[in-house]
Structure 1
Amino acid sequence: MKMNYKEGLKKNVSKNYLFLFLNNFGVTQGVWMIYLASRGLSLTEIGILEAIFHITSFLMEIPTGAVADIWGRRISRIAGRAVQLISAILIVYSNSYIGFVIGFIFSALSYNLESGAGDALIYDSLKEIREEESYMKISGKNEVIMQLAQTCGLILGGFLYNYSYIYAYGVSIVITIIAMVQALFFTEPKIKMEVQEKSFNTLKSQVVDSFNIIRKNKRLAFLILSSQGIFMFNTSIFFYFQNYLSDKGISKGIIGIILAISALAAAILASQGHKIEKKIGERAILAVLPIIMSLCIWGVALSRYHYIFFLAINCIESLIFVVVGDYINKLIPSDKRATILSMASMIFSFYMIIIFPIIGKLGDVFSLEVAFEILAIVANIIAIINLIVFIKRGE
């Protein structure tokens, strides 16, 4: 029986590859902003929807992370796919702005339930079989799987949307159902909680203890704050880039291909993350790459070869995601892992609540080119602050 449990933990890694592929096969990811615009929404209204998504995420990240730690990471993943199914149906069939708002709230909850739970499930599976040192390499493979899935989804989504958005969302709903069923077959790691009663007090204690771990560990706090800022810039560029290209007269199919190529390039680089980290070291990854990324945002805004700079931003973000994810997990105790990872995602949501609607408003009042220029200025300032903090900490 013990051997079967260990084998189940080991198989979690390969099962996770399939789950990640299904979960990231984003048929609607490359067209949802164009779809909402086609339903009559302005960039400001779309920006507000995304802000609502992140407000929900901000409020629910910690509770859902604690749920994953206390009640189980597998259960959290299953629930996440079920809620995502509801979200997709709402967004397709809504005929009012409030319907879209509710759909985005459910979408945020699905993100929350997966955020932290998935990484915690795999890291602790490896930890129990004493193979956690392989996490960065496996994380690199995970990123490849996610980016490949995203590549396929973007191409298919662009193709389907040329015929009907119903086709794209229909495929998305089917894939979500398959992912929900597949999540049933994970083996739950046996994490020893300090308290056995799964009550509200347990939940409260879990959150407070997790926050104190971050507060006392300055390195962990720095990694979380800096990395989530980088993810925020990449996400903002990625979504508004769809409308940016559409405004330039580029077809939906070509937009899908451009996004897909950038995802594929990011996947290739991420797969080598563990090797790159050994060669260039933590200093270059945490201090230099954010500066390069901030300069690339200027390239997106001003250069005629904006797609090349967009590709570079995606590649840098993927590399940082793989490497910093390993750094962070090594600093977190198992029984607090999902909660702390969710706290990191909460920081990301906080950033997005501020930035995303501002970009939309600037795009409506001026242009997305101007919005990207202002975003580049903000990115430059934050990258310099990040470098100063890194140097002062004596990294």
Structure 2
Amino acid sequence: MKYKRNIGLAYAFSFSLSLSFTHGIWMIYLAGKGFSLVHLGLLEAFFHVTSFLMEVPTGSVADIWGRKASRIAGRLCYGLSLIFMFHGTTFLLQVVAFMLSALGYNLESGAGDALLYDSLLLDGDEGRYIKVKGNDELINQIGSILSFLLGGYLASLNFGIAFYATVGSAVLGFFIALFFIEPELEKAEIQRKMSLPGSVLFSLKSQILDSGKVFRKTPRIGFFILFSESLFAFMVCQFFYLQNHWTNLGYSPAIIGMVFSLHAAIAAVFSVKAHAIEKIIGQRGLLVCCPLMLLLTLWGVALTPYSMVFYTLSASIEGLLIPTISTYLNQLIPSRFRATILSFQSMAYSLFMIAIFPLVGLIGNLASLNHAFTLLSSIATMLVIPYLVMLSKQKR
């Protein structure tokens, strides 16, 4: 069990990753600095445009130079982004902050799951992945609970404390990543003999072409990616704009942090029970129930005065999807292309966010956030209904 140490380190890294004390307050902070909802929507769009453009290159970084190197670089970019965000007084500086944050996200997005799965695979223990991933998500949600509670409290004292405490968690993750054992995977001999620029260009070309072959051979990969990332995009849009919505309703950052903490706690419970629930209702049951649950919660937030209740209910979708979809995809993807294809998953998420997030901010600025949430629910309904029809026509 050469790579067993990576599992414990991955849990510790996930915990440091989840200690983002600014995650539930950054929109409140930037709005307080004078940035409008349109500005916030554009900044998030810049994040996802950068993420979309850099996903495959950063996935190639993980496949060529290693998952460990990618995770180390990701923590450095994220720490710098927080410093720019806190001190940036102009829109341009905030754009830089969000682009650095996107790079940090890209460098982690495919490398994290790839390192975890390949470590188990090389030890001949990949059958435990869904349980290990569920535990990983549990630890992530525990960290999120602490972050939301402490982040809201720290923000009520001083936003600077929250930002620099998060920088500290990024530094902690950097040092944890130094101790990962890089999985020894087969790499093409031609790449080893190339110069650094040549290796990058070769990787981009070959990884995209070869990954396309994997998609054609196993179309379920694309189906799972589109399914999960569309749902995540709707949930994340709701999460960010609810920060401002609840602030406008008179709730303090501390109260908002408590609601987000409860959401994370419910997601944690469902993440560790995901493998058991999947055994009961099956893969198709999850693919049907999750989008229907999403529509219920989106419309509940938009049309009722119980937005906090319905948002909390949506945690069950998050908890179920993260370990189960990750398991399905990793079982279908060859190790050599794992980080790159998982990067396509993040690209799909970015495309959904680029299309939806600025539009919600614009409607919120021109009309109200209630109107924006109604629009979000309508778009989700228009996408989910044909998705369910398509699912019903597919073979099991």
- TM-score between the two structures when normalised by the length of structure 1: 0.97
Contact 1:80 1:112 in 2 (8 A): yes
Alignment match, 2:31: 37
Alignment match, 1:21: 15
Alignment match, 2:166: 172
Runs of 4+ more than 6 Å apart: none
Alignment match, 1:223: 224
Contact 1:295 1:376 in 2 (8 A): no
Contact 1:244 1:368 in 2 (8 A): yes
**Letter paired with 1:277:** E
Partner of residue 125 from structure 1, selected from 116, 119, 129: 119
Alignment match, 2:42: 48
Alignment match, 2:182: 188
Residue 92 of structure 1, CA deviation: 1.3
Which whole-Å CA distance do the structure 2 matches of 1:120 and 1:372 have between them? 35
Residue 292 of structure 1, CA deviation: 1.8
What pairs up with 1:233-248 in 2 under 5 angstroms?
Answer: 233-248=234-249
Alignment match, 2:195: none
SS in 1 for 2:259: helix
**Letter paired with 1:131:** D
Contact 2:266 2:319 in 1 (8 A): no
Which whole-Å CA distance do the structure 2 matches of 1:203 and 1:289 have between them? 34
Deviates further, 285-294 or 198-207? 198-207
Contact 1:67 1:203 in 2 (8 A): no
Residue 95 of structure 1, CA deviation: 1.6
Question: Structure 1 residue 150 and structure 2 residue 144: aligned?
Answer: yes
Which whole-Å CA distance do the structure 1 matches of 2:94 and 2:384 have between them? 35
Which whole-Å CA distance do the structure 1 matches of 2:240 and 2:179 have between them? 33
SS in 1 for 2:189: coil
Residue 290 of structure 1, CA deviation: 0.5
Question: Structure 1 residue 373 and structure 2 residue 377: aligned?
Answer: no
Which whole-Å CA distance do the structure 1 matches of 2:382 and 2:290 have between them? 14
Residue 196 of structure 1, CA deviation: 4.3
Residue 350 of structure 1, CA deviation: 0.6
Which whole-Å CA distance do the structure 1 matches of 2:387 and 2:131 have between them? 26
- TM-score between the two structures when normalised by the length of structure 2: 0.96
Contact 2:63 2:339 in 1 (8 A): yes
Contact 2:24 2:240 in 1 (8 A): yes
Deviations 1:49-97 (Å, cap 9, x if unpaired)?
0000000000000110011011100000000001111111111111211
Deviates further, 116-125 or 92-101? 92-101
Which whole-Å CA distance do the structure 2 matches of 1:278 and 1:260 have between them? 28
Structure 1 segments unaligned to the other structure (5+ residues): 1-5
Alignment match, 1:212: 213
Residue 377 of structure 1, CA deviation: 1.2
Which whole-Å CA distance do the structure 1 matches of 2:209 and 2:84 have between them? 35
Residue 202 of structure 1, CA deviation: 3.1
SS in 2 for 1:249: coil
Which whole-Å CA distance do the structure 2 matches of 1:152 and 1:196 have between them? 47
Which whole-Å CA distance do the structure 2 matches of 1:352 and 1:377 have between them? 16
| Identical positions, percent | 42
Alignment match, 1:3: none
Residue 288 of structure 1, CA deviation: 2.5
Alignment match, 2:196: none
Structure 2 segments unaligned to the other structure (5+ residues): 193-198
Alignment match, 1:107: 101
**Letter paired with 2:35:** L
Which whole-Å CA distance do the structure 1 matches of 2:376 and 2:123 have between them? 44
**Letter paired with 1:99:** L
**Letter paired with 1:75:** A
Residue 386 of structure 1, CA deviation: 1.3
Question: Structure 1 residue 97 and structure 2 residue 98: aligned?
Answer: no
Question: Structure 1 residue 58 and structure 2 residue 59: aligned?
Answer: no
Which whole-Å CA distance do the structure 2 matches of 1:202 and 1:303 have between them? 50
Alignment match, 1:74: 68
Which whole-Å CA distance do the structure 1 matches of 2:100 and 2:183 have between them? 27
Alignment match, 1:255: 256
Alignment match, 2:130: 136
**Letter paired with 2:172:** I
SS in 1 for 2:305: coil
- Distance 1:210-1:195 versus aligned 2 partners, 3 A rule: farther
Residue 212 of structure 1, CA deviation: 2.3
Which whole-Å CA distance do the structure 2 matches of 1:335 and 1:238 have between them? 35
**Letter paired with 2:158:** S
Which whole-Å CA distance do the structure 2 matches of 1:159 and 1:123 have between them? 36
**Letter paired with 2:334:** P
Residue 315 of structure 1, CA deviation: 1.7
RMSD over aligned Cα atoms: 1.0
Which whole-Å CA distance do the structure 1 matches of 2:337 and 2:8 have between them? 24
Contact 1:287 1:386 in 2 (8 A): no
